[in-house]
Structure 1
Amino acid sequence: MAPTTLAPALDKAHTRLDDIATKLGAIVHTIDVLSDGLKAPFLEPMTLTMRFILSGVQSIRSNKAECIALLETVHQILCAVVAVNVTPQNANPRPWTLSSLLRWGILLSTVTTVALQKVSSLLETQRETSRIKRFFKQTEAATMLKACQDDLQRILNALKVRFAGLVHTIREVETDFASAHEKVLDLVQAGADSESYTTGAFSASSGSRASLLSVMPANPQIFHGRDAELTHIIDILTGNINPALVILGPGGMGKTSLAHAALHHAEVQAKYPPECCIYARCDAAITAEDILVNVAKSLGLEPGRNLRPAISSYLASRPPHLLVLDNLETVWEPSDTRGEVESILAFFAGLTNLALLVTMRGAERPAEVAWTRPFLPPLEPLHLGAARQTLFDIADELNLAEPDVATILALTDNIPLAITLVAHLVESEGTADVLSRWEAQKTTMLSDGFDRHANLDVSIALSLESPRLRADPAACKLLQILSVLPDGLAERDLTTALPLDNPLGGRSTLLRISLAYHTPAKRLTLLVPIREYIRKYEAPPIDLIRPISRQYTILLELFDRSFGIAPIGNLRDLASTNFANFQSLLAYRLDLPEPDDLAETAQLAIMASRYRRREGWENAFLAGTMARLSSMLRRHPGHELLEVALVGELLWNQYRSSDPDLLDHAISLFPRFDDLKVKCDLYGAASYHAMVCHGQLSLAESWLDKSLAISVPETRPRADALRRRARLYIQRGNFVKAAELAETAQRFFRQSGDLFGEASALLATAEAFYGLGAYADAAEAAKQGRTLVSMYDFAGTHLDSVLLNLLGEIHRSKSEYREAKAAYDEALRLVAPDRTKSGTSLYYIQLNLVEIEMALNGPDHPAVQARLDSVYDIARGMSLKLVLLMCEATEGMLRLYQGVSADGTSKLRRCFVQGEAEVKSFCAEHLANPALRGGDEWAYIFLAHLSSGAGAFQQKVALLRALQFIGQSMLIDGDRAAAKNLLLVALEGFKARGIHRGIAECCVALAEISETAGHAQKALELLDEAGRRFARSGLKKQVENVRRWTARVDGRFDIAIRS
């Protein structure tokens, strides 16, 4: 007959909770019968957890409807556990299917127990006795209950998919539970009367709770990146008489796969053939004795009270055996079984005819065993190449764009299990859907399987069940804190910024159980999947993370105050290594149901944005965060200065607000505070936004004029406004006025002690001189700026890279190609290609280097085309249309120099039609060069283009080039007099600016005119000048051509003299 439970007390009204408690109590009893009758201990943790849940059901005081719905789903899953066993095709399995069924039962129990433990913890929170606490936690608890129910529903759905007909059987169990209970009793009795349940690892007569399977596992088919570890294991197993080796590492790192690969390796099988291998899964073992029982049964021995002598005696008369104990941490972790497990390990390691290979989570080897040296280090994530190959072996490489591969692997932190699971999703769903789901579901999307090898959440949850973790409150709290710190924690922050009693002890615990690890920079951090899991299921309370958040704000405020007036190298390094932490904390604090301390959060956001800008980055995440904060602060008056500062940072970050009144609203707040610096900064940001985002030069100038009007003379805000105004004059081509304002700004910055500001003003000065063609002055200003940058630890900042880029441009314009290449190469080393402000300019540097390397090494040098191809590939991948157009124009120029005139001319003409002013100037200049044969008319088109005012920057130098080309064309046509006049004008201009190549080319053309006119001495003087200028440019081929020409002219000159 079906079991019953105690009737509710007579003085208490019957409730729905009573009904569900009754149903759950009955089915738990039935599962107990299954567990005892089938000797299936994997069901025991499930029933133990359910009894704990039932003990507190009547104490639930809030969210009762949600709790009842959750318990109903639990009831359905437990019905499914019963239904799996009473379904006809499973009730009497054949011998060859029994092992698979029992193995699946272990997995089902594991995942269900993990889920039930979450349910238990969650229901415990609904028993609060304080009405106030229940009231404030009601909404949060309802959300968590719903999420937990969703998890249970996924388990139930997966069960229905796995077992055909299960839906109908579950319904039968629910509607006629008494009948289902009788079927269970019949099943247990049938098992006791037959031999069908004595095969494999289970025995009805043994009384053992061992559920370990000793079937030889398959060789992993997808296995990359563990060659060194596999070689280490093979050397240990084959090079020692009775080796003992342990494979350690975090969950999902591939420990089991590595053990499987070692078992199947030819050298291992030569020493330990399959019949001499004992493979024991320990993940369902409950006592240490279960390990001995399983090994004994694998050897064909009868279980008994003292198995050690029997095992020892059996192996003594046999060939060498290899024993693999997989997932030993399950039974070794609990302190009450650890000593006995280590004693058993010592027994196995002491057998002279047995090799021992153990896999277990963590970074700590069990004691009492003389493990064979050298030790195998704990497994780490796969290197990038192996991670990519694992992904490609499962998902089709042809369907994966390169940027998507990097994004997908970043989600996995190169953990083999995570890569495998996400690769299968990519193969079935596509990259876009998987990335979209990750944003919403995180590790849950990789958790549809039932065991640690197919379910990432289960794998992580098992690690979190470590008794050592649960016994260490500091470790639990530290784990929560690390879940919102993707950059991890430095040693000093660990000991000074956390509200923990024993942070160093907590760190030690996390390292020993491999939940945390040290980066090469010695920062304590979590792998991405673990971090996301903790953040989703065990997110830290605000009191845990507020101290570290405040410490980061203090760090950024100190950086902001010191910037420009004191060395900031250490502060800069600290900010850089924690920047992802800043972003994560901001997101966490804003996503709280009731955002915590808006002013404190806003200050962190503003300081983080200022730091990021000074490093040369815009940041879309920070912009979105500050937009949310700005909206929130508008609803909470009293923080007007912070609100204006936030709007300013939004504009600096090129944020395009949907609120047209955002800037006007910020300006309307000016009367409520007195900080002129914040007000001037807003006007500067408005000017920048108007110019960069909308191309409105006049509006940009008007905003800076407002800043100049309110700023105090000879102060940093006034200097900054002058410097920015100078940059706008450069945009208008008024280089004289720009130089005047930039030099004034430089003086004000120097008086204020702001060396960074002075360096930025020197940049504006250098740009103005460059526009005037005063290259020597421009180079001197740029070098002074770099000197200041290096003095105060600003090297490598955006300003440093821009100064270097400008120096490269100056040298290139003077055709000092070796110096230009050196400057450009250093700029490329300084700045990452994804830095927003510098990203596009980096591609132009690469294209300039194509031109420089072509000049130095010749157009056919392989490095020239290779560099151009690399820029092409990146530009295509990122859809950078302007860069692609410049790539095509550069390729057209290259083809002209290679002598492929038709192709080069076609490309340059097409780009001239499609391009903006600068692209048009580039194309016209190279088409106009008579030496490249782009067409006679292009010299005049180039001149007309320049005369129209297009491309005003560097217009004077371009005009000199146009005059040179027209002169050369006239020389070709035979009009030597006109050609000489134009070439002399161009030569004078090139000499004034020190443009070596231009000087040399004009001298060559004039030498031809002189030689033709019979003035050999003049021709030789011109050729001598040309040779020296070509040599200064590094143009070896041209130097050799001039040398040969000089020899020819000199020879004729000698003949003429002798005559």
Structure 2
Amino acid sequence: MTTQALLAGVQVYIKYIRMIIQHLSRTQNVKTNKDQCFQLIEGTYQVIYAIIRLHLESGTVGFVSSAILEDISKFTGTLHKIYTFVGIQQEGNRIKQFFRKSEVNGLLKDCRAGLEQAKEVFKVQIGVTVLDQVQSEAESMHKELLDIISSLSDGTVSDSSFSMLPSKPKIFHGRDSELRDIMEGLSQDVPRIAILGGGGMGKTSLARAALHHPDTCAKFQHRFFVSAEPATTVIELAALVGLHLGLEPGQDLTKPVVQHFTQQPSPCLLVLDNLETPWEPIQSRGRVEDFLSLLTDVNHLALMITMRGSERPGQVRWTRPFLQPLQPLSDEASQQIFEDITDDSHASEEKTQLLKFTENMPLAVNLMAHLVDYEGLTNVLTRWKTEKTATLSTGHHRTSNLDTSIALSYSSPRITPGARELLRLLSILPDGLSDVELTQGNLPISDIRSCTSVLIATSLAYKDTQSRLRSLVPIREHIQQVSPPSETLVQAIRKSFHDLLALYQNHNDAHLGIILTRITANLANLDEVLHRGLKPGSSDLSETIQGVLSLSSFFRVTRGGGTTLLDEIPIHLCDHRINVLYITERLKFPRLVDIGQLVTQGLSHLHQLHDPMLEARFYAAAGRTYFKFQSSAQQLEFLENALELSKSIGDSEGQCDSLIAMAEHKWRIGDYITALSISRNAQQLAYQTINLYQVSRAMHKTALSLADLGDYWLSLS
């Protein structure tokens, strides 16, 4: 932004404040809160003076940063609130009737908070500031501004307008398709374009890119970019627009703003950035939409808005086709942004890992890259592992603080209590949840479909290509830090997963494929939720351990390995049954060393129980492991015990398991005929019980035996 534009805008501020000071000088008109009014004006002058001095003493000749522009724009909202507060105190002011005493007190509180924040941002030097001095210095400063503006003669800015345009984004990748769609929309007769998406998705950057596109500059002689973030009502929104247009301050500028655009002879483009701030509250939404409707009645006024979420304001006929809410960038675009900022085009595992943490959210990529440029890859990666999103949250504004950006969406008035609960739950579920899991998971969240819609509407969650409701990594990490799910909620989802794993253990029929698919879709969820349940003192520790053992069985059968959660199970368990189940699963992994000690421990726990099925499963596991690490004779004894116990209780699955292990034993010692006979018996029993997994295992042993007997054709069949 040019220096001239900045100073022209500040000149409007001075004009604005002078008028307020003139009101205050008529002391007979100020009936209440006179001291507070003078304090507000005094503080306002300090900030205005600091803004000008900050710029004049910085040595910057041509431009100021977009961050300063953002802070100045935000301060504009505070100015309007001060103007409103002062107006309320005047005798005969009609606006006073619309404010209750509590609302006036709240307005004063907002004014003070806004001033204090501005003083901190612009580093106000507090000194002797008497109102008389303020009035006299305002005159000289106003003259100084006019002199400075006249010395900068680019001729692009009126001294009565605050129409400062933000700069074109210098690093901009991955939005070519969206920019092309916007330019196509702006080429129509009456463009009405809404850029939607979650916080940190680059909505403002995309709007700035469209604002400076050559086609936009050629078509629209007048372009206005107004940040609506400081506004909380339609009155404040209209005041912000009016300030950019150079209108005289007033109590309600909605009609003057529309009239100003109506009187313009040439096409205009108005960009309202972050419009969700005044639009989201239910009490102000209708009036904001009315204001937008009035603006769109102006035929030669093009309107473009940016808003968090996926909802468009009503009462506006938005240009078709609608722009879809912005999604994360591609891997290639994120990498290009990262390389442009860090000037490092070399591939590395650390860079890949850091970009993975951002999940291609533009703001996160940008902040991560700048941090790496300053601290280095290794240091940032180390910090992220402990600090998470706090690593990218050192600034104070949403554009430089990832946590602030996410918190703005999380505090939206649209977020219902149920939606908050659902988002908290999603924060610990990397895989998200399917519609079935949401609606049939017995989760303690009322009207969960409505909650899902709210999260999608605010872009805090989205449906992936598999129609699973998910939340991005930065959002999940932030929610875990500031508002983690309650233990009741975690236990509810854990019980749902326990039930799923129990289905896997108990069903080996045609439905097994559906169960395997559901488990596979939730592997990261299972790991996270079960890990949380293994903490000492957990109320459902026994159920969680059984879930971990079932998950270990799933990994062992489908992937030939186990789960690291097996190593997290507490060593000293009081439950004998859980101990036997744990040792039985441990025996199924060949990497074990002290098999004898593990078997001894298992037998000691079994002596405290009377559970033939559990005992049979233990002997079968011990038998298979003993052949690989101990004696063959001991293995056969264990397997025979397992077979007899299974027969005694009619456990067909246990019998199949024992027969298959015995067939493998005979095959390994070269007794192929006996191995063939036993495996065929196991195969027949598995068919009878419709246990497809056992059928496949028995067929494998049959094929091996036939091949070693020389019957290759039958083996292949």
Q: Same fold (TM over 0.5)?
A: yes
Indicate conservation of the 8 Å contact 2:672/2:705, yes or no: yes
Relative to its length, the structure with more helix (as a share) is 1
Counterpart code for 1:362: G
Instruction: Using the TM superposition, give the Cα deviation of residue 329 of structure 1 relative to its aligned residue in structure 2, in angstroms.
Output: 0.8
1:289–1:99 Cα change, 3 Å:
farther
> For residues 648 and 598 of structure 1, what CA distance do their matches in structure 2 show?
18
Counterpart code for 1:247: I
Counterpart code for 1:216: L
Secondary structure (helix, strand or coil) at the match of 1:379 reads coil
Indicate conservation of the 8 Å contact 2:42/2:129, yes or no: no
Alignment of 1:306-705 (within 5 A): 307-315=253-261, 316-395=263-342, 398-401=345-348, 407-469=353-415, 472-496=416-440, 497-563=442-508, 565-590=509-534, 594-616=537-559, 618-619=561-562, 622-623=563-564, 625-631=565-571, 634-635=572-573, 637=574, 639-652=575-588, 664-682=600-618, 685=621, 697-699=628-630, 701=632, 704-705=635-636
1:673–1:243 Cα change, 3 Å:
same
Counterpart code for 1:674: H
1:428–1:323 Cα change, 3 Å:
same
Indicate conservation of the 8 Å contact 1:707/1:721, yes or no: no
Counterpart code for 1:585: V
Q: Which residue does 2:206 correspond to in 1?
A: 258
Secondary structure (helix, strand or coil) at the match of 1:322 reads strand
Percent identity, aligned pairs only, is: 34
Indicate conservation of the 8 Å contact 1:297/1:303, yes or no: yes
> For residues 40 and 596 of structure 2, what CA distance do their matches in structure 1 show?
68
> For residues 346 and 596 of structure 2, what CA distance do their matches in structure 1 show?
42
Deviations 1:60-107, CA, capped at 9 Å, x for gaps? xxxxxxxxxxxxxxxxxxxxxx99998997498679799878547579
Instruction: Using the TM superposition, give the Cα deviation of residue 598 of structure 1 relative to its aligned residue in structure 2, in angstroms.
Output: 1.0
Indicate conservation of the 8 Å contact 1:400/1:431, yes or no: no
Alignment of 1:591-990 (within 5 A): 594-616=537-559, 618-619=561-562, 622-623=563-564, 625-631=565-571, 634-635=572-573, 637=574, 639-652=575-588, 664-682=600-618, 685=621, 697-699=628-630, 701=632, 704-713=635-644, 715-727=652-664, 738-739=675-676, 741-750=678-687, 752-771=689-708, 774-780=711-717
Indicate conservation of the 8 Å contact 1:325/1:357, yes or no: yes
Alignment of 1:89-168 (within 5 A): 90=54, 103=69, 105=71
Secondary structure (helix, strand or coil) at the match of 1:364 reads coil
> For residues 651 and 431 of structure 1, what CA distance do their matches in structure 2 show?
42
> For residues 33 and 707 of structure 1, what CA distance do their matches in structure 2 show?
92
> For residues 307 and 361 of structure 1, what CA distance do their matches in structure 2 show?
25
Counterpart code for 1:479: L
> For residues 256 and 633 of structure 2, what CA distance do their matches in structure 1 show?
94
Q: Which residue does 2:231 correspond to in 1?
A: 285
Deviations 1:872-903, CA, capped at 9 Å, x for gaps? xxxxxxxxxxxxxxxxxxxxxxxxxxxxxxxx
Instruction: Using the TM superposition, give the Cα deviation of residue 346 of structure 1 relative to its aligned residue in structure 2, in angstroms.
Output: 1.4
1:723–1:214 Cα change, 3 Å:
farther
Secondary structure (helix, strand or coil) at the match of 2:643 reads coil
Secondary structure (helix, strand or coil) at the match of 1:468 reads coil
1:31–1:733 Cα change, 3 Å:
farther
Instruction: Using the TM superposition, give the Cα deviation of residue 188 of structure 1 relative to its aligned residue in structure 2, in angstroms.
Output: 6.4
Alignment of 1:66-77 (within 5 A): none
Deviations 1:199-233, CA, capped at 9 Å, x for gaps? 89xxxxxxxxxxx9753222223322222211111
> For residues 387 and 92 of structure 1, what CA distance do their matches in structure 2 show?
37
Counterpart code for 2:396: F
> For residues 718 and 741 of structure 1, what CA distance do their matches in structure 2 show?
11
Instruction: Using the TM superposition, give the Cα deviation of residue 269 of structure 1 relative to its aligned residue in structure 2, in angstroms.
Output: 1.8
Indicate conservation of the 8 Å contact 2:505/2:550, yes or no: yes
> For residues 548 and 369 of structure 1, what CA distance do their matches in structure 2 show?
42
Counterpart code for 2:444: P
> For residues 44 and 430 of structure 2, what CA distance do their matches in structure 1 show?
45
Indicate conservation of the 8 Å contact 2:431/2:525, yes or no: yes
1:448–1:667 Cα change, 3 Å:
farther
Instruction: Using the TM superposition, give the Cα deviation of residue 700 of structure 1 relative to its aligned residue in structure 2, in angstroms.
Output: 7.6
Q: Which residue does 2:197 correspond to in 1?
A: 249
> For residues 336 and 702 of structure 2, what CA distance do their matches in structure 1 show?
52
Counterpart code for 1:368: Q
Deviations 1:781-833, CA, capped at 9 Å, x for gaps? xxxxxxxxxxxxxxxxxxxxxxxxxxxxxxxxxxxxxxxxxxxxxxxxxxxxx
> For residues 187 and 590 of structure 1, what CA distance do their matches in structure 2 show?
68
Instruction: Using the TM superposition, give the Cα deviation of residue 550 of structure 1 relative to its aligned residue in structure 2, in angstroms.
Output: 1.4
> For residues 516 and 246 of structure 2, what CA distance do their matches in structure 1 show?
66
Indicate conservation of the 8 Å contact 1:106/1:284, yes or no: no
Secondary structure (helix, strand or coil) at the match of 1:509 reads helix
Please report the RMSD computed on the Cα atoms of aligned residues, expressed in angstroms. 4.2
Secondary structure (helix, strand or coil) at the match of 1:758 reads helix
1:236 aligns with 2:172: no
Indicate conservation of the 8 Å contact 1:418/1:456, yes or no: yes
Secondary structure (helix, strand or coil) at the match of 2:307 reads strand
Report the number of matched residues.
618
> For residues 31 and 308 of structure 1, what CA distance do their matches in structure 2 show?
28
Unpaired segments ≥5 residues, structure 1: 1-29, 41-81, 111-155, 174-179, 201-211, 692-696, 781-1059
Deviations 1:567-622, CA, capped at 9 Å, x for gaps? 3233233222233222221123345x852321122222222222333322534xx4
> For residues 192 and 711 of structure 2, what CA distance do their matches in structure 1 show?
76
- Largest Rg, 1 or 2: 1
> For residues 505 and 573 of structure 1, what CA distance do their matches in structure 2 show?
27
Counterpart code for 1:254: G
Indicate conservation of the 8 Å contact 2:201/2:363, yes or no: yes
Q: Which has the higher contact order (CA 8 A, sep 6+)?
A: 2
Deviations 1:98-125, CA, capped at 9 Å, x for gaps? 9878547579999xxxxxxxxxxxxxxx
Q: Which residue does 1:788 correspond to in 2?
A: none
Q: Which residue does 2:153 correspond to in 1?
A: none
Deviations 1:7-32, CA, capped at 9 Å, x for gaps? xxxxxxxxxxxxxxxxxxxxxxx999
Counterpart code for 2:225: Y
Instruction: Using the TM superposition, give the Cα deviation of residue 501 of structure 1 relative to its aligned residue in structure 2, in angstroms.
Output: 2.6
> For residues 190 and 662 of structure 1, what CA distance do their matches in structure 2 show?
90
Return the TM-score normalized by structure 2.
Answer: 0.75
Q: Which residue does 1:896 correspond to in 2?
A: none
Counterpart code for 1:415: M
Instruction: Using the TM superposition, give the Cα deviation of residue 185 of structure 1 relative to its aligned residue in structure 2, in angstroms.
Output: 8.1
Secondary structure (helix, strand or coil) at the match of 1:610 reads helix
